[in-house]
């Protein structure tokens, strides 16, 4: 019986060490349920889910911490900034996917990486769906901001 806490997974030269953090059942379940690693998803579905999350989360920093944060158009600037960054990220994904066949490697945390991202066609489908999901996520965050920042909700808050 070995009592080592940190041990090499297969080849210690690769640096893929099994630690209590990356090899715990909780971490494995969490990572393997993310859209990037979830089994049975097409590249389009992966790109759409990941893009929506990125677009939605990028809207806030561009709106509240951007250079136009104190202006009347901060919400629109946040939408344009988030959409612009999603376009830049999509270009980067396309370049990465078309540069060479990029076979995902298996790790301690994710022993079965998605095989759909082994080809440039898979990466192209992923990047296109990422663009649609990213701009859609930013637009959804913008619409939520418009609804919850409207006078209706401020009037309800002033009732009490």
144 pLDDT higher than 70: yes
State the alpha helices, DSSP H only, in the chain. 25-32, 43-64, 74-99, 120-148, 151-157
Are 90 and 130 in contact by the 8 Å Cβ rule? The answer is: yes
42-157: what fold? Answer: Photosystem 1 Reaction Centre Subunit Xi; Chain: L; (1.20.1240)
71 pLDDT higher than 60: yes
Burial class (CB in 10 A: 0-12, 13-18, 19+), 61: middle
Report pLDDT digits (tens) over 19-44. 788 788 898 888 888 898 888 889 99
- The predicted pLDDT at position 7 comes to 57
The domain locations on the chain are 42-157
- The predicted pLDDT at position 80 comes to 96
**Mean pLDDT value of segment 53-73:** 92
**Mean pLDDT value of segment 133-146:** 95
Confidence bin at 153 (pLDDT 50/70/90):
low
Report pLDDT digits (tens) over 76-118. 999 999 999 999 999 999 998 888 766 777 777 777 788 888 8
Burial class (CB in 10 A: 0-12, 13-18, 19+), 123: buried
């Amino acid at each position: 019986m070995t009592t080592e806490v940190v041990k090499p997974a297969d080849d210690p030269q690769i640096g893929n060490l099994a630690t209590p953090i990356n090899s715990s059942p909780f971490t494995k379940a969490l990572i393997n349920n993310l859209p990037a690693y979830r089994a049975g998803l097409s590249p389009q579905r992966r790109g759409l889910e990941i893009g929506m999350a990125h677009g939605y989360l990028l809207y806030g920093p561009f709106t509240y911490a951007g250079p136009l944060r104190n202006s009347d158009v901060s919400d629109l600037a946040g939408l344009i900034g988030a959409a612009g960054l999603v376009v830049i990220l999509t270009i980067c994904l396309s370049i990465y996917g078309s540069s060479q066949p990029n076979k995902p490697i298996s790790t301690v945390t994710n022993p079965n990486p998605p095989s759909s991202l082994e080809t440039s066609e898979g990466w192209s489908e992923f990047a296109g769906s990422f663009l649609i999901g990213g701009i859609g996520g930013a637009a959804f965050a913008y619409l939520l901001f418009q609804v919850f920042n409207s006078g209706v909700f401020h009037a309800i808050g002033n009732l009490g």
